[in-house]
């Protein structure tokens, strides 16, 4: 894009600086993510007075049917962002799951059907690549646990950007195919995510590429705030009492919090204390461990879990997630792989939603918190389902039934039906003894 066209499509920017979360030092709005003084993470700062003056419920509702209806709260200048229909996913009332768990007001925010690649990562990537284009990058990249590679490759294809993604070599087949189909360059690194991430930091320094979750991280992570905005808008401009969300780096969790606070600050919703509870897998639970032990530092671990999309052993935003869970009277819990599979099945059988291992983790933690009396049955509780089960089929292989193979004849069907009913009865009787 030339300088002139960029100027034409600029709108009044409401984001004004990158600001260090630790020491408050401010920086220009470039591609950088670490404070030069204290090495703290940088975050986008906004002019909230301007937002208060210009944004109303009506201006938001008049916007596009995507995350870009919240554009004044997102760190881009253009009013022609990359819009592939990302966001505004269903918030569904989960009555059958609620009854099973003993809750009264349960909702599911269903990003298993987010566009275009069926995970919440489409939100962060839409924002990061729009900003990458503004900053003049022609090649975009990421260090991914799977879903991020899918989103980056797909949205880069749509935007006509060159793309090279890095993944751990042992990812699920669906996540690998869900990247390769867009024909990016794919580097399958023989190592875990934390090693992939370290390699990518070096590449970012030497190649001048826009890594969505490294040098563009302050912009990228703002995209997750839309999961807060949407829930508030979909609840009729009200905040819930309690949210449960998965934790990998912890970024999503902290940004839902930031999103809620911003809506309160600019007067779009009434203030309310929302409890924040986080979910991890036992096989990679550095944040849950620190939380349980009352620590305010996170000790890195080596991941080993079927929840590969959450397998970050050295989580960048772990301490901030712990702080939010503590100050909101929430919790951070973890569950084992068997519980994750049971969580996937429970959500599918009660609500008709097939989620990936991250969603199974979140549902299983929800159940654990309810059983421990840590969620009040009356609380309006929102569970964030962040990814789609079709991408992690390996996880439930062998834990679901099999189709009944029959001949194309009525009597073959009748015999099979009778057999399956007998089998069901037997299983039922066995369950009773």
- Give the residue with the Cβ less far from ligand PLP, 66 or 251: 251
Rounded to whole angstroms, the Cα distance separating 180 from 185 reads 8
Stretch that binds ligand PLP, among 187-195, 246-254, 265-273, 367-375 (CB under 6 A): 246-254
CB atoms closer than 10 angstroms to residue 47 = 16
Rounded to whole angstroms, the Cα distance separating 172 from 286 reads 23
Question: What region, left, alpha or beta, does residue 237 occupy, with left being phi > 0 and alpha being psi -120 to 50 degrees?
Answer: left
Contacting residue, 106, 127, 155, 248, with ligand PLP by CB under 6 A? 248
Rounded to whole angstroms, the Cα distance separating 137 from 13 reads 20
* 382 near ligand PLP, judged by CB under 6 A: no
387 binds, among Zn ion, ligand PLP, none (CB under 5 to 8 A by kind): ligand PLP
Contacting residue, 33, 69, 71, 121, with ligand PLP by CB under 6 A? 121
* 40 near Zn ion, judged by CB under 5 A: yes
The SS3 assignment for 405 reads: coil
**Pick from 146, 151, 300: nearest CA to 212:** 151
Query: Which residues in 16-35 contact Zn ion (CB under 5 A)?
Result: 20, 22-23, 25, 35
Range list of H helices, 44-94: 48-54, 57-61
* 423 near Zn ion, judged by CB under 5 A: no
- Give the residue with the Cβ less far from ligand PLP, 246 or 259: 246
Peptide bond into 116 cis (omega under 30): yes
226-234 and 251-265 helices cross at what angle (nearest 10)? 50
275: β partners: 242
What mask, x for binding ligand PLP by CB under 6 A, covers residues 281 to 320?
A: ----------------------------xx----------
For residue 274, the 8-state DSSP code is P
- Give the residue with the Cβ less far from Zn ion, 40 or 377: 40
Cβ atoms of 114 and 123 within 8 Å: the answer is yes
* 148 near Zn ion, judged by CB under 5 A: no
- Give the residue with the Cβ less far from Zn ion, 19 or 255: 19
Radius of gyration, alpha carbons of the chain: 22
* 119 near ligand PLP, judged by CB under 6 A: yes
- Give the residue with the Cβ less far from ligand PLP, 78 or 278: 278
- Give the residue with the Cβ less far from Zn ion, 24 or 102: 24
**Pick from 255, 258, 318, 312: nearest CA to 124:** 255
Contacting residue, 14, 66, 226, 249, with ligand PLP by CB under 6 A? 249
Residues at the site binding Zn ion, with contacts judged by CB under 5 A: 20, 22-23, 25, 35, 37-38, 40
Residues at the site binding ligand PLP, with contacts judged by CB under 6 A: 119, 121, 147, 246-252, 309-310, 356, 358, 386-387
């Amino acid at each position: 894009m030339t300088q002139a066209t960029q100027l034409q499509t600029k709108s009044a920017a409401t984001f004004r600086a990158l600001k260090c979360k630790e020491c408050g030092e401010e920086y220009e709005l470039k591609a950088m993510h670490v404070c030069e003084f204290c090495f703290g993470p940088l975050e986008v700062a906004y002019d909230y007075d301007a937002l208060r003056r210009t944004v109303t419920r009506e201006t938001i509702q008049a916007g596009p049917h995507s995350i870009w209806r919240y554009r004044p709260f997102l760190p881009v200048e253009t009013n022609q962002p990359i819009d592939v229909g990302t966001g505004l996913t269903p918030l569904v009332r989960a009555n059958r799951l609620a009854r099973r768990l003993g809750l009264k007001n349960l909702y599911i925010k269903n990003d298993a059907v987010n566009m275009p690649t069926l995970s919440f990562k489409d939100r962060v990537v839409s924002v990061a690549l729009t900003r990458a284009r503004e900053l003049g990058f022609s090649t975009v990249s990421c260090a991914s646990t799977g879903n991020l590679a899918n989103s980056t490759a797909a949205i880069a294809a749509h935007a006509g950007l060159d793309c090279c993604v890095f993944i751990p070599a042992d990812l699920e087949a669906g996540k690998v195919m869900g990247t390769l189909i867009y024909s990016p360059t794919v580097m399958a690194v023989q190592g875990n995510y934390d090693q992939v991430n370290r390699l990518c930091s070096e590449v970012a320094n030497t190649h001048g590429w826009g890594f969505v979750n490294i040098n563009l991280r302050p912009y990228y992570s703002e995209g997750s705030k839309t999961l807060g905005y949407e829930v508030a808008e979909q609840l009729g401009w009200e905040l819930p009492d309690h949210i449960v969300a998965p934790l990998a780096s912890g970024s999503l969790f902290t940004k839902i919090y930031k999103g809620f606070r911003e809506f309160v600050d600019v007067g779009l919703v009434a203030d309310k204390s929302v409890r924040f509870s986080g979910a991890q897998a036992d096989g990679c639970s550095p944040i849950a461990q620190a939380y349980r032990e009352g620590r305010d530092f996170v000790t890195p671990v080596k991941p080993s879990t079927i929840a590969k999309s959450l397998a970050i052993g050295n989580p960048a935003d772990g301490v901030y997630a712990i702080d939010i869970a503590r100050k909101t009277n929430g919790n951070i819990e973890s569950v084992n792989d068997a519980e994750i599979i049971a969580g996937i099945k429970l959500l599918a059988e009660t609500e008709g939603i097939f989620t990936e291992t991250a969603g199974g983790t979140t549902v299983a933690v929800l159940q654990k918190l309810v059983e421990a009396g840590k969620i009040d049955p009356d609380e309006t509780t929102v569970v964030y389902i962040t990814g789609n089960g079709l991408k992690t089929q390996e996880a439930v292989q062998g834990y679901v039934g099999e189709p009944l193979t029959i001949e194309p004849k009525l009597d073959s069907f009748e015999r099979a039906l009778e057999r399956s009913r007998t089998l069901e009865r037997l299983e039922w009787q066995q369950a009773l003894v």
